[in-house]
Structure 1
Amino acid sequence: MRYNSLKLRKVIFVTQYPVNTAQIKDDLYLAVNGAWLKTAKIPADKPATGGFFDLADNIEKTLMADFEDFLNGKTHTDDPYLREFLKYYRLASDFDQREKLGFKPAKPFLKRIEDLKNLADWEEKLPSLTLAGYPSPVPLSVEADMKNTKAYALYADVASLILPDKTYYTKDNPQAPALLAIFQKMMAKLFQLAGYDDDFASQTIAQALEFDRSLAPHQKDSTERADYTKQYNPYSLAEFASFSSHLDLAAYAKTLVKTDDLDKVIVTEPNYYQALDEILNEDTFPQFKSWLLVRSLRAVAHYLTNEARIVAGQYQRALSGSKEAMKAKKAAYYLAADQFDQVVGLYYAHKYFGPEAKADVHRMVEQMISVYQKRLKANTWLSQATKDKAVLKLSTLGINVGYPDELHYLYKKFVVDENQDLLTNDLNFTKITLSDHYGRLKKEVDRTRWAMPAHMVNAYYNPSFNVIVFPAAILQAPFYSLKQKASENFGGIGAVIAHEISHAFDNNGAKFDEFGNLKNWWTDSDLKAFEDLAQAMISQFDGLETEAGKVNGKLVVSENIADAGGLSCALEAAKEDPQADISAFFINWARIWGVKASLERQKLLLAIDVHAPHVWRANMQPKNLADFYTTFNIQPGDKMWLAPADRVNIW
């Protein structure tokens, strides 16, 4: 769990299954989850089950049932924004109308690409194409300036690839040929459904993949991107413009943000922009145009016929290992809920998340911060100057629990035109969203908008705002329940809370000050000591075996530092309870990571995810804590034993 977090989601909790206490000495994860794993079945339309997924599936069923009652007139609402969501949901659910319209709603959108004559023509139309939601090899965005988070700045990022990561384009990648074959077959069918002839489709798909492949060598891979502070590379507008001799990048940027007063652009990956002339020029325009058309056709297909929706998901299902497409009604729910995510989140929170639970979790967060402060003050490897800065940062940490105080203003602009089709409404919302996004450059930074809706089972830390956020959906068993032992709650939501706090002091978060600005507040010797400890964490995980392959310690280091800090701090808080049950603490820690996932999903996450595999999240961090050994009498020779010299403790 981190700032760029994942969406996750069933009703069978691992708590129904007995713990094999005799097995704890050899494998904590299997001791807790083994009986469940033997019978657990992954839903055909999902890549995994257990843990986060179970909670999310339960929320899915609850909300779909509620919204079905609204659509059928069994219940009513006076909330005008929920009513707009329900209108959109009704359009998304009307597959008879979607079938009748076929690809007609997408034709104008796709024709804008088909009609592009050359690079100059595309450049002239680029601002309007950007605001309309078309993909671009020079994606710009307006975000808080990482070195001055009171102000917005313009960022230049890189185009996303068709394959999950640049490493998939290497010659020896074993998964790429099969994935590309599935992608080509999927796109050929979509072009056929859209009415294009086979020769045109075949050539367009081949050119699109050629262009996509040309992007890969100039991009960072997932491991390099995991150090996200290196995204901050400010250039003057003139310097940014010099990256291309074929495009007027300065004019494009100023037109997009509607100001001539633009002095800098922050380039996330300079190597990519230094190769921009090679990537995008008149000679490569045919390949680029095909790339635009392929990506755009795939995107709009989800809003058209049911067959188009199912076909357009084939590649993603191959990546994740999901065996079947979602049923039409469920797919419509997700499509609508994603568009109105904060509206749906507030509905869920107000109906299903009580004030008693919110107050109790808020108390737990404050307790965890207090524990963290004590640990920082007692730290033995930091100088006093750095400790003081760390405590100061902790004292200014923002806390958001449950749901935002009010709906963000942007959602109040979403008005559904029921006389228009689903895709047309979606494209209108895209224009509203992007116009607002690019129009905020000179405005005050908005720190109130949550990056996750309240019905999402997850949590995050935002380093630029120095705030931790715990949506209502994660505040359920096995993570948290008023009916669970306090020690179980500390091993669940307590460790999650402290995990997010720890992100303020992981290898990335530690580079931001108490205001969220990217600024070094460490002494040189303290920074060296921290980097050595981070390297020890990298080494501890690097090369660990899973059924899908080996763990990349460098890719997952930030999350592992947060896991380690979170578990140790939650343990200390649990021990303050007079009725502390430390065995229950560690058992619930292992329980929340109980997941059964497809092999395809496991392979994908090993390659691109900054989180360690769930088995090792459950098993490795307890090995670093002395209380784990005394609680379960772990001795040398036991598989869960780790020599004291090999244990890593940072926070």
Structure 2
Amino acid sequence: MDLMATVNQAAVKQDLYDAVNGEWMQTAEIPDDHASTGGFMDLVDAIEKTLMHDFDAMAAGDVQPNDPQLAEFIKFYQLTKDFKQRDAAGAKPLQPCLKQIDSLSDLADLQTRMPDWIYDGLPLPFSLDVDADMKNTKVNALFAQAPGTILPDKTYYDEGNQNGPKLLAVYAKMMTTLFQKMGYDADTAQATVDDALKFDRLIVPWVKSAEEAADYSKMYNPRDFSDFANDSRYLDLAAITYSVINGNPKIVILPEPAYFDHFNEVVNPENFDLMKSWMKTKLVQRMSGYLSDDIRTLGTTYSRTLSGQKEARSQAKSAYYLAAGTFDQVVGLYYGHKYFGEAAKADVHHMVEKMIAVYKRRLQANTWLSAATREKAVTKLNNLGIQVGYPDKLEPVFTKFKTHTAEEGGSVLSNILNFSRIARKEMFSKWGQATDRTRWEMSADTVNAYYHPFMNIIVFPAAILQAPFYSLEQSSSANYGGIGAVIAHEISHAFDNNGALFDEFGNLHNWWTAEDSAHFKELAKSMISEFDGLEFAGAKVNGTLTVSENIADAGGLSCAEEAAKGEDDVDLSAFFTNWAMVWRMKATKQYMQLLLSIDVHAPAKLRANVQPKNLDDFYTTFDIQPDDPMYLAPEKRVKIW
């Protein structure tokens, strides 16, 4: 299906993205239960349809699940689908949790209950978790996290931000109505939400914006455990930690240290009632999707306003995503084995190895790195882990998930809380233990890919390994413009402004000479400048927020192009055309503006259009001249990897 060579050259000179996707953009319609449609979302929708068909047959008893974990998932799916029972129960499943918070007398009382609440994943003014120690990634360390804000980013609270107050008004109205459905009278509901918003404001000054959080090097803030324990005058943080960690941590890593520096200003007896209201409000918002259909639908009002999505998901789709999200790795393995298979897994693995070889040659031929840094970069590449398709085995924690059916007194919410407890106990048990580099953090049915800097691995789930990204029906050049560029993009993350800070073992460790590091930072600045301030959807791109992804796009496209040129049937028109095609996306204005505020990726259209301008072959392929809109002067073309 080589539709790639038919792109209009004159149109490409004006706008590559529009030349490839213009007709599609005119006719594409965003489904009412979506905020966007296009390349990635089309694959998501197709997988949703396939898996819902399969799982509905199992839930109806027409097909038997072929393994015990899948059978537990199907039992839970039957519960999530049973809206007759969910509607009859209404808010009752959540009321015991609310009563627990209502009955809290003071911070000392919270202290005694906190271990249980940590395991249940209930809203608390801080959270603990376990992940790889960024400076010794072979061992799992303890992290303490600040809570999230109600608005999607702290910049929304700025005085000049007009969206912030509007969104908070929508949130407040939604939550007030939800509290009334929980059985609170209108005045109490209103007062509870007002207090929750006041507590939320206390958090805002001490947490990071999306731009600040995008700098991984500033996530690593180890604090002596004794100092961390003294961060609160009113809670015994050491006792809370010992209740979930079996051992004596020497340090705690704080991604947002300012929050803990000011912890006493937020969590204190004066603010206790505000905090209780905040905990209840967060709880109701988070758990609304597990209750009756009217509560579930109402609970999506705020998120739909944020994204411009017209309608909530249907009952059927919401039940599927709730169940599949809970048993994500079980669902992913089913999808991978049935719809991808070992042959495709081996084929794509070979393609990844081929792209790594191309990348290695490019590194070895690099002219701006010193020999010492170049050698270290190749060492990092040689140690890059590759995960393709689906995991070799199911993560053991899922074998502990046992669904309690309605006949056994189980509800959607009671099962969710039980699964949360099992998963969190499993996580905390890994503190001080060796990390597992083979662990997948994304299920095989996810249309995405990632690089993990702490593990130095690249992961390509089965779901993204299909057309338009990859297909035997497409030319090799089209495949390189699709999945080849995605593969090389993830490899490039090992050498973007964040990935470059980590060595071959994933440790935060400087392996650059001072001169090379300074030069790289200048090149990164040029990538920031190339995107910073570009107008899109009535707002502007933040070049600093998106720099790591833009460096990875540039390296990925350049490397994939070199690989395409190494094939006998090279067709660079097909290569650039498929690159533009995979980024096709039609989205609501609200969703595009939300992404501009919080997403580390540049808008899809700009990803499609800006990066080819940096490649000389783009100009010769489409005869682009200095007076064409797609032209970028040679001295302005950013070339890093």
Q: Does 1:562 align with 2:552?
A: yes
- CA-CA distance at 1:359 after TM superposition: 2.1
1:425 paired residue number:
415
- CA-CA distance at 1:77 after TM superposition: 2.3
- CA-CA distance at 1:354 after TM superposition: 3.3
Alpha-carbon contact 1:15-1:478 (below 8 Å) kept: no
Which residue, out of 223, 226, 231, partners 1:238?
A: 226
Q: For residues 199-238 of structure 1, what are the alpha-carbon distances to aligned partners after superposition, in whole Å with 9 as ceiling and x for unaligned?
A: 1100000000010011111111110110022110111111
Q: Does 1:293 align with 2:280?
A: yes
Alpha-carbon contact 1:383-1:526 (below 8 Å) kept: yes
1:356 paired residue number:
343
1:8 paired residue number:
none
Q: For residues 163-203 of structure 1, what are the alpha-carbon distances to aligned partners after superposition, in whole Å with 9 as ceiling and x for unaligned?
A: 00111111111111211111111111111111111111000
Q: For residues 297-349 of structure 1, what are the alpha-carbon distances to aligned partners after superposition, in whole Å with 9 as ceiling and x for unaligned?
A: 11221111000000011111111111001110110000000000011111111
Whole-Å separation in 2 of the counterparts to 1:36 and 1:234: 50
Q: Give the TM-score normalised by the residue count of structure 1.
A: 0.97
Which residue, out of 102, 121, 131, partners 1:133?
A: 121
SS for the counterpart of 2:269 is: coil
Q: Does 1:345 align with 2:335?
A: no
Alpha-carbon contact 1:241-1:248 (below 8 Å) kept: yes
1:214 paired residue number:
202
Q: Does 1:276 align with 2:276?
A: no
2:616 paired residue number:
626
2:541 paired residue number:
551
Whole-Å separation in 2 of the counterparts to 1:593 and 1:303: 34
1:314 paired residue number:
301
2:34 paired residue number:
46
Which residue, out of 182, 200, 223, partners 2:211?
A: 223
Which residue, out of 265, 277, 302, partners 2:289?
A: 302
2:630 paired residue number:
640
Q: Does 1:385 align with 2:358?
A: no
SS for the counterpart of 1:25 is: helix
- CA-CA distance at 1:242 after TM superposition: 2.3
Deviates more, 1:107-116 or 1:338-347: 107-116
Q: Does 1:99 align with 2:87?
A: yes
How many aligned residue pairs are there? 638
Whole-Å separation in 2 of the counterparts to 1:231 and 1:512: 13
- CA-CA distance at 1:14 after TM superposition: 13
**What amino acid is aligned across from residue 555 of structure 2 in structure 1?**
G
Q: Equivalent residues in 2 for 1:255-266 (5 A)?
A: 255-259=243-247, 261-266=248-253
Whole-Å separation in 1 of the counterparts to 2:478 and 2:596: 29
- CA-CA distance at 1:20 after TM superposition: 3.5
**What amino acid is aligned across from residue 522 of structure 1 in structure 2?**
W
Which residue, out of 160, 181, 187, partners 1:193?
A: 181
Whole-Å separation in 1 of the counterparts to 2:349 and 2:422: 35
- CA-CA distance at 1:273 after TM superposition: 1.0
Q: Give the TM-score normalised by the residue count of structure 2.
A: 0.98
1:504 paired residue number:
494
Whole-Å separation in 1 of the counterparts to 2:253 and 2:343: 44
Whole-Å separation in 2 of the counterparts to 1:73 and 1:141: 39
Which residue, out of 447, 451, 461, partners 1:461?
A: 451
Whole-Å separation in 2 of the counterparts to 1:345 and 1:541: 35
Q: Equivalent residues in 2 for 1:152-171 (5 A)?
A: 152-171=140-159
- CA-CA distance at 1:252 after TM superposition: 1.5
In structure 2, the gaps of 5 or more residues are none
Q: 1:167 to 1:360 in 2, by over 3 A?
A: same
Question: Structure 1 vs Structure 2: percent identity of aligned residues?
Answer: 55
Q: Equivalent residues in 2 for 1:510-529 (5 A)?
A: 510-529=500-519
Whole-Å separation in 1 of the counterparts to 2:617 and 2:415: 56
Whole-Å separation in 1 of the counterparts to 2:342 and 2:119: 40
Alpha-carbon contact 2:584-2:604 (below 8 Å) kept: yes
- CA-CA distance at 1:649 after TM superposition: 0.5
Whole-Å separation in 1 of the counterparts to 2:552 and 2:50: 32
- CA-CA distance at 1:15 after TM superposition: 6.6
Which residue, out of 509, 524, 527, partners 1:534?
A: 524
Whole-Å separation in 1 of the counterparts to 2:264 and 2:285: 27
Q: 1:553 to 1:34 in 2, by over 3 A?
A: same
SS for the counterpart of 2:497 is: coil
Alpha-carbon contact 1:487-1:580 (below 8 Å) kept: yes
Alpha-carbon contact 1:149-1:464 (below 8 Å) kept: yes
Whole-Å separation in 1 of the counterparts to 2:213 and 2:492: 20
1:435 paired residue number:
425
Alpha-carbon contact 2:4-2:574 (below 8 Å) kept: no
Q: 1:440 to 1:355 in 2, by over 3 A?
A: closer
**What amino acid is aligned across from residue 616 of structure 2 in structure 1?**
A
Q: For residues 448-498 of structure 1, what are the alpha-carbon distances to aligned partners after superposition, in whole Å with 9 as ceiling and x for unaligned?
A: 221100000000000111100000000010000011100000000000000
SS for the counterpart of 2:121 is: coil
1:151 paired residue number:
139
User: Could you say what the CA RMSD is over the residues aligned between the two structures, in angstroms?
Assistant: 1.4
SS for the counterpart of 2:290 is: coil
Alpha-carbon contact 1:14-1:33 (below 8 Å) kept: no
Whole-Å separation in 1 of the counterparts to 2:5 and 2:278: 50
Whole-Å separation in 1 of the counterparts to 2:206 and 2:270: 18
